[in-house]
Structure 1
Amino acid sequence: MTTANTARFNEEALSWDSNPSVQLATTLAHKAYLAHLPPPAILSTYDILDLGCGTGLLSLALAPSVRSVTAVDAAEGMIVALRSKLEHPPTPKTPPTNIHPIHALLTSPSDPLLALDPVTHTTRPNRRFDLVVSHLVLHHIPDLAAFFTTIHGCLRAGGGRVMVTDFEDFGPAARKFHPESKMDGVERHGIDRGMIRAVMEGVGFAGVRVERAFEMEKAVETEPGSGVLGPVVVFPFLICEGTKV
């Protein structure tokens, strides 16, 4: 992730959860993940890595269903916000104890920061995961092949899975997903199905599937750069899956 991305997300961390589009996209992504994951008896054994976790909305949603979540983000402000939720929950509800937030730009599967088990609080060098998830991150990544190579290395051999969601490049209107003031750090306006399939297969994933996960309505600028939201555009989201053999 670029410096522009990190700076922007640090600035937006405190207000991130108040954005209704962020909340809606995460809710729809969580529903899509559960529809593609195994039943509770198996899912409850999963150790998950959430890359680009932001303030932890998806991590917090998945945590009750899995054994553990290691939540990583390159923007320190986002991780500070997640830690605050875990240490000082906004409601009387007891926060999950199986989430480990990490501030890092992850480039190596052997990064020692991944070694800590959130449940036992012990370290295991070269720890690997049953599932890697990432939501609304791909369009910010300059080198997708390097990103998926890291993901592939983070998964356990013999069945570890990747499952990522992002909006689809469906033509010129996809650019409207971001207001013009937030274009710094946007590497592409949505994900092309053929491109992402080729990238995932190219780094070694088997059984790659790229399909429509859900659609989300979002108000966009009346004119580029106006800052005034008006028309609503329907943005299709893709779910991209693969397995490490």
Structure 2
Amino acid sequence: MTEASNARFNTEALSWDTNPDVQRATALAHTAYLARLPSDPAILSTYDVLDLGCGTGLLSLALAPAVRSVTAVDPAEGMIDALRTKLSSQAQEEEEGKEPIRNVLPVCALLQDPDDPLLATDPVTNSPRPNRRFDLAVSHLVLHHVPDLRSFFRTVHGCLAPGGRLMVTDFENFGPDARKFHPESKMDGVERHGLRRDEMQALLEEVGFVDVSVETAFELEKKVETEPGSGVMGPTVVFPFLICQGRKAG
């Protein structure tokens, strides 16, 4: 991500979870992921997951109860601080009889190397595991902020264990209206107005993923500006979201 993206997300971190569009999109993405992952809890509970661009951890925390561990990575310190606060404030919930989440590790980093030592800590044992690899990599509403998708996916491919899976979700570039997903005041750090199906299919195959598929995962109805730059939210547009999947051979 760019410095513009980081600056924006650091500023918005404290209010991020109050955005109903963020909450709805994350819930829909979570449902889409679970529908495509093993339904047998005994299998899914062995998965070590890498969540790239995790933000405040909405998706990480939703996935955590079903998997072995989640390493939640984001370059915006404000977002990671918000996730750390959530994890550290579970004492009260534990007193109320709720099971605390202990298998999520927040990492503030712009990941560019699969062997980054920040990924080496096992969230469950809190012990180092050099050259650690993951069973599943996810990323939600992040790709439209990534300048170089080819480099990003090469890094993700390197982070996966043989047979590991990739699942990423973002809105589709379905035409001129796709630009309306962001108000004009929030265009800093937006690298593309959604994903193109054919480009994503070709890119994932190019970097080495097999069993690649790109399909509609869900639709999100969202209010957009009445006029670009007006700041007045009025009409709604239905934004299709793609889920792009692949597997590392082995």
| Alignment RMSD (CA, Å) | 1.0
Map of 2:43 onto structure 1: 42
Q: Percent identity?
A: 73
Does 1:109 find its partner at 2:114? yes
Match for 1:118 among 120, 123, 136?
123
- What's the CA shift for 1:41? 1.6
Which deviates the most, 32-41 or 48-57?
A: 32-41
Secondary structure of 1:219 counterpart:
strand
Does 1:181 find its partner at 2:182? no
Match for 2:144 among 121, 139, 164?
139
Distance 1:180 1:243 in 2: 36
- What's the CA shift for 1:90? 9.5
Distance 2:99 2:55 in 1: 21
Give the unaligned 5+ runs of structure 1: none
TM-score (ref. length: structure 2): 0.96
Map of 1:233 onto structure 2: 237
String of CA shifts for 1:27-65, please: whole Å, max 9, x gaps.
000000000001222111000000000000000000000
- What's the CA shift for 1:22? 0.2
- The number of residues matched between the two structures is 244
Distance 1:90 1:47 in 2: 25
Which segments of structure 1 move beyond 6 Å, counting only runs of 4 or more? none
Give the unaligned 5+ runs of structure 2: none
Q: Which amino acid letter does the alignment assign opposite residue 43 of structure 2?
A: I
Does 1:61 find its partner at 2:66? no
- What's the CA shift for 1:121? 1.1
Secondary structure of 1:238 counterpart:
strand
Q: Which amino acid letter does the alignment assign opposite residue 112 of structure 1?
A: P
- What's the CA shift for 1:162? 0.4
Does 1:21 find its partner at 2:21? yes
TM-score (ref. length: structure 1): 0.98
- What's the CA shift for 1:174? 0.3
Distance 2:215 2:91 in 1: 36
Map of 2:198 onto structure 1: 194
Distance 1:37 1:214 in 2: 16
Secondary structure of 2:134 counterpart:
coil
Distance 1:19 1:91 in 2: 24
- What's the CA shift for 1:95? 2.9
Secondary structure of 2:238 counterpart:
strand
Secondary structure of 1:80 counterpart:
helix
Q: Which amino acid letter does the alignment assign opposite residue 44 of structure 1?
A: S
Distance 1:123 1:77 in 2: 25
